[in-house]
Structure 1
């Protein structure tokens, strides 16, 4: 029984090593998606914002959302304490 378990352990250790073989990709989906994005971007003019763009939510204090900026029944939690240096207009 000990030999069987040792052989089984050896077999699975070789199998785990086989998973580390590097093979080339058959396609590069990120590149083709990026190419489609650039083509669509060239055809879309006038629908983008000029930078630097800061939304009105940068000054929203932590807590309940200001109903002036949100539709009723919707919204998101605005919290300036999660990031190290949140973007803000000074």
Structure 2
């Protein structure tokens, strides 16, 4: 079964280190919700997984099904099924 594995991930934005050693394993079929106060690194983690060029991985690794995600271009990641969907639900009156 494929797994997304994040090991000891350190990520910088400009001169500021945002993530300092994050570990995460997501097994096939699992769903995870990232929750917490603003400024804790949720978006930074997702941006690093997705390959946003503004975020620099300085240490650690990200693998999916044993393949090095950090060595892949964004389109290669999406073909593996790694993508980010943001949800902004509509407000329902009443």
Query: Which structure has more helix as a fraction of its residues?
Result: 1
Give the shorter-chain TM-score range.
under 0.3
Structure (1 or 2) with the larger CA radius of gyration:
1
TM-score, L = length of structure 2: 0.17
TM-score, L = length of structure 1: 0.17
Q: Which has the higher contact order (CA 8 A, sep 6+)?
A: 2
Query: Which structure has more strand as a fraction of its residues?
Result: 2
